[in-house]
Chain A
C-alpha cells in the first residue's frame, strides 16, 4: 500500500525567503504525486501533479516540485515566499488502479513572517 510522509508539521519562513516543504512517498508501483493547498475554512486546491512525464513539475503561484525516484521524494519549493502563501499544504499519492483515491500526508502548515 502506498503512503506519504511530510517532514515537519509546521514550517516558518520570512517573506521573500525560499520555501521548502518535504514529502517522501512509499509505493510498490510508480505513483502519481500531488501537492494540494488548503486555506482556512476552504477546500483543497491542486498546486501541481506528477504523472510520469517531466520530473520537474511547475504549478500555480510560482510553486514547483521535483520527483526523485532514487530518494522517493517529491519536495515542494518556491523561490520567494509571499504572505499569501500562508496555508496548509498536503502531499498526496495515488495509483491509476485506485481510481481517484488519494492517500494524503499529514500536512504542513506554512507560516510566512513579515
Chain B
C-alpha cells in the first residue's frame, strides 16, 4: 500500500511569491492534516480536511489556505511568502477524524524562502 506522497519535496521561492504544495493520502483515507515544522516553533498544526470540508484550523494568518478534492488529495497554498515561512511542511492522512487513530505522515515538502 503506497504511503502519503507529498510534492514537491524541495522548493525555493522568493519573498512575495506564492506556493502550492500537494499531498496524496493513503488510499481510502479521508482525513488530511497539514503541519508546519521549524527549528524555532517546532511542529504546529495548520489545518485538517475531512471529506472536502475544513475540520479544524490552527493559528496561522489567512495567507495559509488549503483545500481537499473529492479523491481526498489535498493542497495547501501560501501567498505573499515571508522569510519566516521557510519550513518543512508535513502532510498526514488518516481513515477518519476524531477517532484518535494513527496519523500517517509523508516525508514533507521543504520550502526555502529567500
Contacts and interface: CB of A to CB of B under 8 A. Distances in A.
B45 A102 contact: yes
B97 A46 contact: no
Contact of A100 (B4, B92, B107): B92
A96 interface: yes
Interface in A18-70: 32, 36, 41-46, 49, 51
Contacts, number: 67
A41 B43 contact: no
Interface residues of B, number: 27
Most chain A CB within 10 A, of B43, B48, B99, is at: B43
Contact of B45 (A51, A96, A101): A101
A104 B100 CA distance: 14
A43 B90 contact: yes
A43 B42 contact: no
Interface residues of A, number: 25
A94 B101 CA distance: 11
B66 interface: no
Interface string B35-47: 1000000111100
A53 to B, nearest CB: 11
12 contacts: A32-B100, A45-B105, A96-B98, A98-B56, A99-B56, A99-B97, A100-B103, A101-B33, A102-B103, A104-B44, A105-B42, A106-B42
Given A90-B43, A100-B97, A104-B35, 8 more contacts: A43-B92, A44-B103, A92-B43, A96-B98, A98-B98, A99-B97, A102-B103, A104-B44
